[in-house]
Structures are given as structure tokens and as C-alpha cells.
Structure 1
Amino acid sequence: MTDRTATDDVSVVIGRELPYLRRYARALTGSQTTGDNYAAATLEAILQEASIFDRAMQPKVALFRAFHKIWSTAGAPTADTEDPGTRLESRALDHMAGLTNNTREALLLSTIESFNNEEIGTVMGIDADEASELIHIAIREMEKSMAGKVMIIEDEAIIAMDIHSIVAEMGHEVTGIARTRSAAVDLGTRERPDLILADIQLADNSSGIDAVNDLLGQFGEIPVIFITAFPERLLTGDKPEPAFLISKPYSEEQVRSAVSQAMFFSSTETLSSPA
């Protein structure tokens, strides 16, 4: 096999996993731009030094391990607080400094990317027991972080009620459930949410993405979690794209993790610390 062929093969393998790396990087940083920059830096590093991507590992593990080498070397990102477009990210990064080191990384790798503890250990350069402990710490710290108002956009009644139950048990107030784009706009107009949980395809064939964009156009920055059976369709590199994305079928742990982190990154002044 020629060097060119080997490079092409690696590119194909990495290409299949790249949407998930971008999803992870965005959730980790709370920003599409910053997350994508870290993903791009990882690809550049692999091109410069092919050994960073260990082909003896499962491709997704190898790619995320390469990302973490870049992430740990660069340290925590910083945002330009003078730029209004990055104020949400800046507040989030300031807040993130108060968390136990490496906990959010371990939690995201487990709940969003479905790595087991051994794989998380390989990605982060720690052992499986430490990975497990970091996950438990993250859950405790993030669920204590904030409480707020959550709006659900979902046309399947069973799923909507399940999400409602999970969110309410976490201590958040659910403002309502909308099944269509127009209903979502009406609901959001009546009571401004601190967080939106939205499906992509709605009951009348309207778009959850359009509903969210309508609300963001009205209110400005609100954290959004999209739920879809086809996450790669929302991770194409085009803008705007979600920082928080859950794949269907989802687990309760995934919803709890995403909600906690989206609330964590919120700059909404109405958010309050639970009693």
C-alpha cells in the first residue's frame, strides 16, 4: 500500500467520525465556533504527525484521543468579552473554571458519545476507575448549578412527556410542550424560556429548526438542545448549527447531561441557583 493510499484510508475513517467529534467539541466548549476550531486543530495535528491518530485503536477512540491531546495542551479556551457575539461563551468559560478538572469531559464522553469507562480512560489518559469517579462528580456539580424555565418542542406525545418528566425531576420548570412551529412561537412568546429542547421534524411537517430560529430571532441568545435520529445532518459545517445535540433513541442520562450543561452555559439572568 502506498503512502498516498494509506493517507486516503485514514481520511475516510476520520471523516466518518468527524461529525461526532464536532458535536463533542461544541458541547465541551458551549460554542460552535470554538468547538469547530478545536476539531480543526486536531485534524491539522494528525496531518502533521500521523502517529497522533493510533490506527491500532477503534477509529472513534483514536480520533477523540488525538483531540484530547490538543485540548489538554492548549488548556481552557478564552473568549473575547468585548465582542457581544462571544459573551455567552465568555460567561460559560468563567463558570467552567469552578468545576473539578476533567469532569465535564468524562461526562460528555460517557453520556453523549456513549464511550465506556475504559474507552474514556484511553481518550483522556486516565484509568477506568478515575473516569467513573469523574462522571459522578460532574453529575453532582452540574445538576446543582442552575435551575430555569425549559420549553419542549416535540410532536410525539410519549417522548414529550418523558422529556417533561426528566426535566421536572431535575428541578426545572417546564413552560409547556409545542407540537408545531406556530405553537412553539406562540408558547415562547407567552413565556420566555431559559432553555429550548426541540425535535427536528414536527407534527404538521414543519421544522423544529425553523421554530427555534424564530424564537432566537425574537429573544436573542437562548441555549438550545436538538433531538434527532440523524445527528450528522445537523453537523455539516454550515451555520447555524447546534452546540448541544442528542441522538434518538436517547437515554435519560443523555437528556440530564445535555440539559445540565446547556443550563450551565446559559447567560440568562432569570436563571437561579437551586435552594
Structure 2
Amino acid sequence: MDRLYDAVATIVPSIRRYARLLVGSAATADAYAQTCLERLALTRPLSLVDLRRHVFHTLHCSVCDDEIALDTVGTDASKPLERSFLALPVPQRAAVLLHDVERFTLAETALILRRSVESVRQDLETGRAVMRTDLRAVFIIEDDWMIAEQISLIAAEIGLRVCGTASDRNEALAGVALYRPSLVLSDVDLGGGRVGGLALSDEIQQRFDVPVIFVTGYPERVQVHAKGAVVVTKPIDAQEFSRAVELVLPF
């Protein structure tokens, strides 16, 4: 099997995600990803070194060469974070996506976008400020420190960054206001039932418009309170946790 083919295959999910978040439409994104792969088949990079950056640069060129009007393209985004992200101007959107989601350095991002490092830095800072959220940051509300630690470890395994934890309402509200995470993971019973995680999650979503995943041993309580809420059942299964995150976050 061609080593280059194998290497590119591992990157395909990432370029599809990048394209979808850049253009706002899964169907349009897949078309650009296909064009990108066709161009790669014709040019065949000679080295696997910097292959991932080369693939993303090829995708970027595919979109730019077509002169698609990304500011006016229709969107099928259903998640609040995704809709707010697509409201960013395109240069900011691309900078945040490549640097914060795909984890390219500033220099690599500038090469992919064919721009200066300083202009990319400015768009990155502006985009972050407008969204006021770290796309990989999660905040944990849990009064059992051992469970909080377990959630932190599982979150880190799938590429999330725990920006803070809280065990009660006041700590939680202050932490979410300070860190502006993209996701909150919350227990249902806090402090022996003194303050309910369900009521707290309602307050967080109303004040900060942050999605919440409930991590609880009592999933039936969540469904009675909020039908359709995303729940991870204790004891925590890593695969169930990962699937729940995919339902809520756009990346």
C-alpha cells in the first residue's frame, strides 16, 4: 500500500471538518475536500514531511481559486457554537480554525493561508475576542474530586482542555464567566442536593449560551427536566463520553 496514500487518508477527516466549518455546509465542504484530494493525486508531494500542512494549503487554494463567497454561503449549522463561529469574518474564521482547532503554529497557519504571520496573529486575536470562547476548553461542575479528575483525563484524551472546575453554583458561574468555555460538563446532584445541577445548567445556558452535557448516575432525572438533553451516565465510559461531545461541539 502506498505510504503517501495511507498518510493522506488519516488527514481526510480533518480537512472535511475544516472545510465544513469554513464554508458552513457539509455538502459544499465535501466537494472541496474531493477537489483537494484530486489535486494531491496530480501533484503527489515528494515527501511526507509537512504533509498535513501541504494538504491544508491545497484545500485552501481549492476554495480560494473558486472565489466562493464565504460570507454569504448558506449554512446548515445546527449547533449554537457553530453558528456563532460562522458569523466571524472569513479571515478570522480560518485563522482560529487552523490554529486553535487544527493546532497549526502561527507560522504554519500563515503559510497555509498565504499571509503574513502578523496579519494571522491579529485575526486570531480578534476572532477569539469576538467569540469570547476557547474552542477546545471545557469546564467541569462536579463535587466529587475523584470523578472530576476522571472526567478531566477522558476529556484530555480526545483533545479537549479543562480550563476549570467547580463544586457549587457560585464557583461554577464565576468560572464560566471567566473562562468562557465551549462546553460545560455538569453533575446533577451538587453538594448532597443542596444546589441542583439541572437548575444551574439552565442558568448557565441562559446567561452564557454555553452547551451543557450532564454527567450523572441518574439520567432519568435529566430527561424529565430537559427532554433531549445530552447525558453521559456514571460510571463513565470513554466512548460514550466521546460520542456525547460530538453531538454538541462542531469539531
Counterpart residue number, 1:50: 43
Report the AA paired with residue 157 of structure 1.
Answer: A
Q: Could you tell me how far 1:211 is from its partner in structure 2? A: 5.8
Please, which of 56, 62, 71 is the counterpart of residue 64 of structure 1?
56
Counterpart residue number, 1:13: 7
Q: Could you tell me how far 1:174 is from its partner in structure 2? A: 6.2
1:207 matched to 2:231? The reply is no
Please, which of 74, 77, 85 is the counterpart of residue 79 of structure 1?
74
Counterpart residue number, 1:157: 148
- When normalised by structure 1's length, the TM-score is 0.53
Kept in 2: contact 1:103–1:135 (CA 8 A)? yes
> Any idea what SS the aligned residue of 1:178 has?
strand
Structure showing greater Rg: 2
- Aligned partners of 2:147 and 2:26: how far apart in 1? 28
> Any idea what SS the aligned residue of 1:102 has?
helix
Counterpart residue number, 1:224: 248
Higher relative contact order (CA 8 A, sep 6+): 1
Identity of aligned residues (%): 21
Kept in 2: contact 1:39–1:67 (CA 8 A)? yes
- Aligned partners of 1:181 and 1:31: how far apart in 2? 37
> Any idea what SS the aligned residue of 1:179 has?
strand
Label 1:176 to 1:67 Cα distance change in 2 as closer, same or farther (>3 A): closer
Kept in 2: contact 1:152–1:178 (CA 8 A)? no
The CA RMSD over aligned residues, in Å, is: 4.4
Structure 2: state its 5+ residue gaps: 153-161, 167-171, 181-206
1:103 matched to 2:138? The reply is no
- Aligned partners of 1:22 and 1:129: how far apart in 2? 27
Counterpart residue number, 1:262: none
Kept in 2: contact 1:65–1:122 (CA 8 A)? yes
Kept in 1: contact 2:16–2:29 (CA 8 A)? yes
CA offset digits 1:145-173 (Å, max 9, x no partner): xxxxx997999414378377664432626
Q: Could you tell me how far 1:70 is from its partner in structure 2? A: 1.0
Counterpart residue number, 2:111: 122
Label 1:20 to 1:174 Cα distance change in 2 as closer, same or farther (>3 A): closer
- Aligned partners of 2:31 and 2:83: how far apart in 1? 16
Kept in 2: contact 1:38–1:71 (CA 8 A)? yes
- When normalised by structure 2's length, the TM-score is 0.57
Kept in 2: contact 1:121–1:128 (CA 8 A)? yes
Structure 1: state its 5+ residue gaps: 81-85, 145-149, 214-222, 226-243, 246-275
Label 1:40 to 1:202 Cα distance change in 2 as closer, same or farther (>3 A): farther
- Aligned partners of 2:102 and 2:85: how far apart in 1? 23
Report the AA paired with residue 109 of structure 1.
Answer: L
Label 1:175 to 1:118 Cα distance change in 2 as closer, same or farther (>3 A): closer
